[in-house]
Amino acid sequence: MYNRHSSCLFIILLIIFHVSQAPTLALKVSFCWNFRVHIINNLSHDNLDIHCHSCEDDLGQHMLGKNDDFTFKFGQHIVFVTHFWCEMKYGDYHSKAITVYTDDFGDKYCCLTKKCFWSVRDDAFYFSNNNRSWVKWYDWS
């Protein structure tokens, strides 16, 4: 089972490490504002049990039916690290926590379209920034 608190602790340690490495405190400014993350249940038969978090936010547990789209929006943010991850489950044997957003990931892949799409399928998790061309990103196992 994925441990939420150890992950947050890890991020805090990372921040402390970075700060202690730098002579002055530097804020990371992301220029990629107001964009949206979509997570789509593209499983062929099953409902998808989904629970997304950051260290500060808990978006709650949701059950997505076939082809349902769970979406959330980021506002303007100036932060050290924004990390969103989602625990996903279907059937008795498939369960995984995946990172759906970090600032670096957003800047690199989602900034242009201001959208990040995750399509959850039987075999794997696929990513797209335009809802058309998909790349296999994470396996279930």
Ligand X SMILES: *[C@@H]1O[C@H](CO)[C@@H](O)[C@H](O)[C@H]1NC(C)=O
Indicate the residue among 41 and 54 with the shorter CB distance to ligand X: 41
59: amino acid identity, one letter: L
Rank residues 8 and 124 by Cβ distance to ligand X and give the closer one. 124
Could you give phi then psi for residue 108, rounded to 5 degrees? -75, -45
Tokens of 99: 């990172």
> Helices then strands (H, E): number in the chain?
2, 9
- Shortest CB 130 distance to ligand X, Å: 9
Closest contact distance (angstroms) between CB of 21 and ligand X is 40
Instruction: State which residue, 3 or 71, has the beta carbon closest to ligand X.
Output: 71
Task: Output 46 or 69, the one with its CB closest to ligand X.
Answer: 69
- Footprint of ligand X on this chain (CB under 6 A)? 38, 40, 42, 67, 69, 119, 131
Let me know: does 118 contact 41? Beta carbons within 8 Å: no
Smallest distance, ligand X to C-beta of residue 73, A: 12
Q: What is the 3-state secondary structure (H, E, C) of 30-56?
A: CCCCCCEEEEEECCCCCCEEEEEECCC
Tokens of 130: 């335009």
For residue 130, the Cα-to-chain-centroid distance in whole angstroms is 16
| Min dist. Cβ of residue 75 to ligand X (A) | 18
